[in-house]
Amino acid sequence: MATLVTGGAGYIGSHMVLDLLAAGEKVVVYDNLTTGFRDAVAPGATFIKGDVGDEAALDKLFTSHDIDAVIHFAGSIVVPESVVDPLKYYRNNTANSRTLIEACVRHGVARFIFSSTAAVYGDPAVMPIAETEPCAPVSPYGTSKWMTELMLADVAAAHELNYIALRYFNVAGADPEGRVGQSTANATHLIKVACQAALGLRPALSVFGTDYDTPDGTGLRDYIHVADLAKAHRLALAWLRDGGASGIMNCGYGDGFSVMQVIDAVKRVSGVDFTVKIEGRRAGDSPKVVADAGKIRETLGWVPDYADLDTIVWHAFAWEKNLSQKH
Ligand SMILES: NC(=O)c1ccc[n+]([C@@H]2O[C@H](COP(=O)([O-])OP(=O)(O)OC[C@H]3O[C@@H](n4cnc5c(N)ncnc54)[C@H](O)[C@@H]3O)[C@@H](O)[C@H]2O)c1
Please work out whether the CB of residue 143 comes within 6 Å of at least one atom of ligand 1: no
Looking at the fold, whether 232 and 205 belong to one and the same domain comes out as: no
- Identify the pLDDT of residue 283: 81
Q: What does residue 170 show for φ and ψ, rounded to 5 degrees?
A: -90, 110
21 and 168 in a single domain? The answer is yes
Pocket test for ligand 1, best of 14, 35, 114, 225 (most atoms within 8 A of CB): 35
User: 246 alpha carbon to ligand 1 midpoint, in Å?
Assistant: 22
For residue 35, the ligand 1 atom closest to its alpha carbon is 37
Helix ranges (H only) for 209-308 are: 226-241, 259-270, 294-300
Residue 139 Cα to ligand 1 midpoint, Å, equals 17
Query: Is residue 183 in a domain?
Result: no
pLDDT band at residue 326 under the 50/70/90 scheme: confident
Considering only residues 326 and 267, tell me which one the structure prediction assigns the higher pLDDT.
267
Pocket test residue of 31, 70, 139 for ligand 1, highest count of atoms within 8 A of CB? 31
* Residue 242 maps to a domain: yes
90 tagged catalytic = no
Candidates 30, 141, 212, 223; catalytic one:
141
Residue 146: per-residue pLDDT: 98
User: Is 262 inside a domain boundary?
Assistant: yes
Buried-exposed string 231-265: b where 16+ CB fall within 10 A, e elsewhere: bbbbbbbebbeeebebbbbbbbbbbbbbbbbbbbb
Does a structural domain hold residue 296? no
Residue 294 lies in a domain: no
262 and 239 part of one domain: no
Q: From the CA of 2, how far away is ligand 1's center (Å)?
A: 21
Both 69 and 216 in one domain: the answer is no
**Is 125 part of a structural domain of the chain?**
yes
Residue 293 has pLDDT above 90, yes or no: yes
What amino acid is encoded at 319 in this protein?
W
Whether 158 and 198 share a structural domain: no
Is 107 strand, coil or helix? coil
> In Å, how far are 65, 74, 128, 265, 270 from 255, measured between CA atoms?
41, 27, 9, 15, 23
CATH of the domain at 51: 3.40.50.720
Quick one: 125 and 207 in the same domain? Answer: no
Which of these ranges, 72-76, 265-269, 321-325, has the smallest mean pLDDT?
Answer: 321-325
pLDDT for the residue 188: 87
**How high is the pLDDT of residue 284?**
78
Domain hosting 316: range is: 190-222+254-289+305-326
User: Are residues 103 and 14 part of one domain?
Assistant: yes
Q: How many domains does the chain have?
A: 2
Contacts of 77 (CB under 8 A, 6+ apart): 35, 141
Answer whether residue 167 is part of any domain.
yes
Q: What is the pLDDT of residues 227-253, one digit of tens each?
A: 999 999 999 999 999 999 999 999 999
261 and 273 housed in the same domain? yes
Q: Could you report the per-residue pLDDT of 134-192, keeping only the tens digit for each?
A: 999 999 999 999 999 999 999 999 999 999 999 999 999 999 999 999 998 888 899 99
Report the CATH number at residue 201: 3.90.25.10
Could you tell me if 267 and 233 lie in one domain? no
Q: List the residue whose alpha carbon is closest to atom 18 of ligand 1.
A: 10
116 pairs with which residues across the strands? 167
Q: Does the structure show a pLDDT above 70 at 327?
A: no
Same domain, 24 and 97: yes
Claim to verify: residue 241 and residue 103 sit in the same structural domain: yes
In a domain, 83, yes or no: yes
| Exposed/middle/buried for residue 56 (C-beta within 10 Å: 0-12, 13-18, 19+) | exposed
Residues 17 and 103 in one domain: yes
Asked if residue 180 has its Cβ within 6 Å of ligand 1, the reply is no
